Amino acid sequence: MIELKNISKSFGKTQALRNVSLSLSAGKCIGLIGPNACGKTTMIKSILSMVVPDHGTIYFNGKNIHKEVQYKNDIGYMPQIGRYPENMSIKQVINMIRDIRCFDGVEDTALYDAFGLEHFDGKKMRTLSGGTTQKVSATIAFLFNPSVLILDEPTAGLDPLASEILRDKIIKEREKGKLILITSHLLSELDDMLTDIIFMQESEVIFNKTITALFEETNESRVSKAISKLLKNIK
Partner 1 sequence: MRGITKFVITDILKNRIILIYTIILCVFSWSIFSLEDNTSKGIMSLLNVILLTVPLVSIIFGNIYMYNSAEFIELLVSQPVKRSAIWSSLFLGLSLALNTSFFIGIGLPVLLFVPSMTGVTVIFSGMLITTIFVSIAMLCAILMRDKARGIGLSIMIWLFLSLIYDGLVLFFMFQYADYPIEKPMAILAAFNPIDLARIQVLLQVDVAVLMGFTGAIFKKMFGTSVGLIVSLMIMLLWIVLPYLLSLRLFNKKDL
Name the residues that contact partner 1, by CB under 8 A. 11, 45, 48-52, 69-73, 77, 79, 83-88, 93, 96-97, 99-101
Residue 86: CB minimum distance to partner 1, A: 7
Residue 219: CB minimum distance to partner 1, A: 40
Residue with Cβ nearer partner 1 (34 or 79)? 79
Rg (CA), the chain: 18
Q: How many CB atoms lie within 10 A of CB 121?
A: 12
Residue with Cβ nearer partner 1 (84 or 120)? 84
Residue 139: CB minimum distance to partner 1, A: 14
The residues near 174 (Cβ < 8 Å, ≥ 6 apart) are: 27, 28, 29, 180, 193, 195
Q: What are the φ/ψ torsions at residue 106 (nearest 5 degrees)?
A: -90, 130
Single out the residue of 1, 62, 58 nearest to residue 26, CA to CA.
1
Residue with Cβ nearer partner 1 (73 or 109)? 73
Residue with Cβ nearer partner 1 (62 or 160)? 62
Residue with Cβ nearer partner 1 (133 or 155)? 133
Residue 74: CB minimum distance to partner 1, A: 9
Residue 163: CB minimum distance to partner 1, A: 22
Single out the residue of 50, 41, 137, 152 nearest to residue 97, CA to CA.
137
Residue 71: CB minimum distance to partner 1, A: 8
Residue with Cβ nearer partner 1 (84 or 199)? 84
Residue with Cβ nearer partner 1 (36 or 99)? 99
Residue 136: CB minimum distance to partner 1, A: 11
| Residue 95 and residue 107 in contact, taking contact as beta carbons nearer than 8 Å | no
